[in-house]
């Protein structure tokens, strides 16, 4: 981080890099950095207004990208609230946090007050709107006013991402053991083509799941991902070949990911028929030939 960005962080109490890592793309990170730099420029007589315009666009871009209309309309809780039927900002925020999960489940089982978050974001957006519509009496240049605007707006953006992470973490925690069991069973039941193509025979020695997380909540499913390694013994030639010294065996670990959905109507009931297993050769060929050198 440059000295200038360090000064901006101290001035507004905002860790630009930390917030930037949570944003969805490079465009959003550029907008955030530009907004902070504008707000920190004490020589600019409309610095607060420029900050407000940038963050309003950043927030709109984020909500539209993470809550597309066609997905949002599939949610059981969605009801048109506008004349043209387009989702409202509050509905987009709701989808970003909970997807198609019901309010009752989110509140009672996950402990999230979505309405309180909606009000916080609405308050921030109102402040941004007032500052964006530049009029003689709406100029925001006073240091205290700029700091208040920055803290209110970025606090709401941070709260939105906090809620998303909380929702996904609680979902993962509630069902982690079941996901591990299903991923392990999937590996043991499947004929894994990635490994099967490498040798005459192979046997799975161990399945290790090192990480489980919630990767997505859409209108229909909560998607969990288990990742880890498959320890396998590769065998070239038959058992008779091995006994004659004409075959060979090699132990190798293969990285894998296993995506398992659960319906939003019952997010603790895994939909095993839709499980997706991906196994990488883990650079086996490169490692194998390196060892031959």
Concatenating the DSSP letter of every residue in 172-207 gives HHHHHHHHHHHHHHHHHHS--HHHHTTSSEEEEEEE
pLDDT of residue 291 exceeding 80? no
% of residues, the chain, pLDDT over 90? 58
- Average the pLDDT over each of 75-84, 184-193, 282-291 and give the range with the smallest value: 282-291
pLDDT computed for residue 138 by the predictor: 83
pLDDT computed for residue 285 by the predictor: 59
Q: How far is CA 178 from the centre of its chain?
A: 21
- Average the pLDDT over each of 36-40, 193-197, 211-215 and give the range with the smallest value: 193-197
pLDDT of residue 278 exceeding 60? yes
Q: How far is CA 71 from the centre of its chain?
A: 17
- Average the pLDDT over each of 19-28, 136-145, 185-194 and give the range with the smallest value: 185-194
Q: Assess contact for 42 and 58: CB atoms under 8 A.
A: no
User: Domain spans of the chain?
Assistant: 3-170, 174-292
pLDDT of residue 234 exceeding 90? no
pLDDT of residue 185 exceeding 60? yes
By residue count, the chain amounts to: 293
pLDDT of residue 1 exceeding 80? no
pLDDT computed for residue 286 by the predictor: 59
> What's the rounded mean pLDDT across residues 157-161?
92
Tokens of 242: 């091995």
pLDDT computed for residue 33 by the predictor: 93
> What's the rounded mean pLDDT across residues 224-242?
86
pLDDT of residue 5 exceeding 60? no
> What's the rounded mean pLDDT across residues 226-238?
87
pLDDT of residue 135 exceeding 60? yes
pLDDT of residue 148 exceeding 50? yes
Question: How distant, in Å, are the alpha carbons of 56, 72, 74 from that of 131?
Answer: 10, 30, 35
Q: How confident is the model at residue 247 (pLDDT cuts 50, 70, 90)?
A: confident
Residue-averaged pLDDT of the chain:
88
pTM, rounded to two decimals: 0.83
Question: How distant, in Å, are the alpha carbons of 53, 151, 186, 200, 249 from that of 29?
Answer: 15, 17, 39, 50, 50
pLDDT computed for residue 209 by the predictor: 95
pLDDT of residue 218 exceeding 90? yes
pLDDT computed for residue 11 by the predictor: 66
pLDDT computed for residue 100 by the predictor: 95
> What's the rounded mean pLDDT across residues 12-29?
90
pLDDT of residue 19 exceeding 70? yes
| Rounded distance between C-alpha atoms, residue 171 and residue 164, angstroms | 11
Q: How confident is the model at residue 293 (pLDDT cuts 50, 70, 90)?
A: very low
pLDDT computed for residue 16 by the predictor: 84
Tokens of 70: 């066609």
Q: How confident is the model at residue 251 (pLDDT cuts 50, 70, 90)?
A: confident
Q: Assess contact for 28 and 58: CB atoms under 8 A.
A: yes
């Amino acid at each position: 981080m440059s000295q200038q960005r360090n000064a901006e962080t101290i001035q507004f109490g905002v860790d630009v890099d930390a917030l930037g890592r949570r944003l969805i793309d490079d465009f959003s990170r550029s907008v955030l950095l530009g907004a902070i730099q504008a707000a920190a420029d004490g020589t600019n007589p409309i610095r607060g207004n420029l900050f407000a315009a940038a963050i309003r666009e950043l927030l709109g871009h984020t909500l539209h990208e993470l809550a597309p209309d066609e997905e949002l309309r599939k949610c059981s809780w969605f009801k048109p609230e506008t004349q043209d039927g387009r989702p409202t900002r509050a509905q987009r925020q709701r989808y970003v946090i909970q997807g198609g999960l019901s309010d009752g489940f989110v509140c009672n089982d996950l402990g999230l007050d979505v309405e309180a978050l909606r009000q916080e974001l609405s308050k921030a957006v109102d402040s941004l709107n007032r500052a964006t519509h530049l009029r003689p009496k709406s100029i925001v240049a006073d240091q205290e006013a700029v700091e208040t605007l920055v803290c209110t707006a970025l606090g709401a953006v941070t709260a939105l991402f906090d809620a998303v992470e909380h929702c996904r973490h609680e979902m993962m925690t509630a069902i982690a053991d079941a996901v591990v069991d299903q991923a392990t069973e999937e590996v043991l039941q499947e004929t894994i083509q990635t490994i099967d193509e490498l040798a005459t025979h192979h046997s799975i020695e161990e399945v290790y799941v090192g990480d489980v997380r919630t990767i997505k909540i859409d209108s229909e499913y909560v998607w969990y991902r288990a990742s880890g390694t498959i320890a396998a013994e590769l065998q070239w030639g038959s058992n008779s070949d091995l006994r004659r010294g004409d075959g060979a065996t090699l132990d190798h670990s293969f990285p894998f990911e296993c995506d398992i959905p659960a319906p939003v109507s019952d997010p603790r009931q895994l939909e095993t028929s839709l499980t997706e297993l991906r196994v990488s050769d883990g650079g086996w060929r490169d490692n194998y030939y390196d060892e031959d050198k």
